[in-house]
Amino acid sequence: MALHSATLTCLQVFNAIVEQGSFSKASERLNLTQSAVSHRLKQLEEITGVVLIHRTTRYIKITDAGQRLYNQSRLNLAELERTLTSLRSTSAAPLSLTTISSLATKWLLPKLSEYNQEYPSQPLSVLTDDNIIDLKYEGIDAAIRLTDVNDPSLHMSFISDEWVFPVASDVIAKDRELIDCPKKLFDFPRLVDVIAERGTDESSWKGWLLSQGLSFPNSQMEQNFNRTDIALQATAAGQGVAIARASLVETDMLEMKLFKQVGRAVKMKYSYYFVCPHEKAENPEIINLKNWISKELKTSVSRVKQQLIY
């Protein structure tokens, strides 16, 4: 006998009756009327040619034939659901997400396993680029951007503000009071992200020193890098002092304690936004990704922010 879709539906209703112990509870679980539940059971009994459940005004009693059918169908339906889940997982096209390399390296990649556990059927492809990418032209689903620009051509959702501050390893900061004496930072090599230094915002040495009423000294040794995450690696190795962002140092500063704050924290003019094309904003997978990133990134920044000196 071929298993038609109607038979499968009847089996699901029958299993719900057995598991819930009543027609009324089964109807609530399945969001069906009690008459619809009764009708499905009657259909299944006509298909099998046997009575599956004895029903009285006070209780139900499953027959021997009904118990045999329930035991077998429960296993088969569970296996079917596992197969369908597996097929959905393997056939789902990965979502593509782009962000700046420093955030991808220091924050996103270490947390990807948590995302994959929460959304196993929703794979994510991560692309890094320190330039603004045209999402529609490149066919990319979404981005995390650190910006102060509102782009009306895209759906933008605020995630978190950002804070910057100088950091150094214990090799440099040990036994030295640097927070209240920022000029003492000039005694150590300055580790510079040359990309950030092109601007005058607080993530550059130029911008941070200006916020403290200071300017570059003529004599300080300087080591240049083209990425903030590389400058932070050099900092952890004791090579000098770098400007850090709160989002990048949750693990290095709070958990591994590779370096610590050595200058007052300043709020950036830029904030983090989740960005995607308008036509994708209501996509359930995009909404899941946005909510996960917003929750996790906000938490990471908040954890570091609570430990900072301003």
**Contact yes or no for 64/71 (Cβ under 8 A):** no
Is residue 222 predicted with pLDDT exceeding 50? yes
Choose one of 33, 63, 91: the last residue of a domain.
91
Report the DSSP pairing between strands 95-99 and 124-128: parallel
Mean pLDDT lowest among 158-172, 195-209, 296-310: 195-209
- Three-class secondary structure assignment of the chain: CCCCHHHHHHHHHHHHHHHHCCHHHHHHHHCCCHHHHHHHHHHHHHHHCCCCEEECCCCEEECHHHHHHHHHHHHHHHHHHHHHHHHHHHHCCCEEEEECHHHHHHHHHHHHHHHHHHCCCCCEEEEECCCCCCHHHHCCCEEEEEECCCCCCEEEEEEEEEEEEEEECHHHHCCCCCCCCHHHHHHCCEEEECCHHHCCCCCCHHHHHHHCCCCCCCCCCEEEECCHHHHHHHHHCCCCEEEEEHHHCHHHHHHCCCCEECCCCEEEEEEEEEEEEHHHCCCHHHHHHHHHHHHHHHHHHHHHHCCCCC
Is residue 5 predicted with pLDDT exceeding 80? no
Question: Do 120 and 201 belong together in one domain?
Answer: yes
For 12, the domain range is 5-91
Higher pLDDT, 8 or 120: 120
Domain count along the chain: 2
pLDDT digits (tens, 9 = 90+) for 261-295: 999 999 999 999 999 999 999 999 999 999 999 99
Question: Do 137 and 248 belong together in one domain?
Answer: yes
Residues in the chain: 310
Question: Is residue 163 exposed (0-12), middle (13-18) or buried (19+ Cβ within 10 Å)?
Answer: buried
Question: Do 58 and 146 belong together in one domain?
Answer: no
Mean pLDDT lowest among 76-90, 101-115, 203-217: 76-90
Question: Do 32 and 110 belong together in one domain?
Answer: no
**Contact yes or no for 275/144 (Cβ under 8 A):** yes
pLDDT of residue 152: 92
pLDDT band for position 2 (50/70/90)? very low
We report the CATH number of the domain holding residue 114 as 3.40.190.290
pLDDT of residue 49: 86
pLDDT of residue 173: 79
Task: Give the tokens for residue 308.
Answer: 């900072």
Cα–Cα distance between 102 and 130 in angstroms, integer? Answer: 9
Choose one of 65, 91, 117: the last residue of a domain.
91
- What does the pLDDT average to over 101-109? 95
We report the CATH number of the domain holding residue 25 as 1.10.10.10
Higher pLDDT, 45 or 146: 146
Question: Do 155 and 16 belong together in one domain?
Answer: no
Choose one of 56, 91, 126: the last residue of a domain.
91
Question: Do 290 and 244 belong together in one domain?
Answer: yes
Question: Do 129 and 255 belong together in one domain?
Answer: yes
Higher pLDDT, 64 or 91: 64
**Contact yes or no for 20/29 (Cβ under 8 A):** yes
141-160: buried (b, 16+ CB within 10 Å) or exposed (e) per residue?
bbbbbbbeeeeeebbbbebb
Question: Do 238 and 125 belong together in one domain?
Answer: yes
Question: Do 55 and 141 belong together in one domain?
Answer: no
Question: Do 87 and 145 belong together in one domain?
Answer: no
pLDDT band for position 76 (50/70/90)? confident
Is residue 1 predicted with pLDDT exceeding 60? no
What pTM was computed for the model?
0.69
| Residue among 277, 278, 271, 310 at smallest CA distance from 294 | 271
**Contact yes or no for 223/167 (Cβ under 8 A):** no
Question: Do 98 and 82 belong together in one domain?
Answer: no
pLDDT of residue 92: 62
pLDDT of residue 31: 82
- What does the pLDDT average to over 66-74? 84
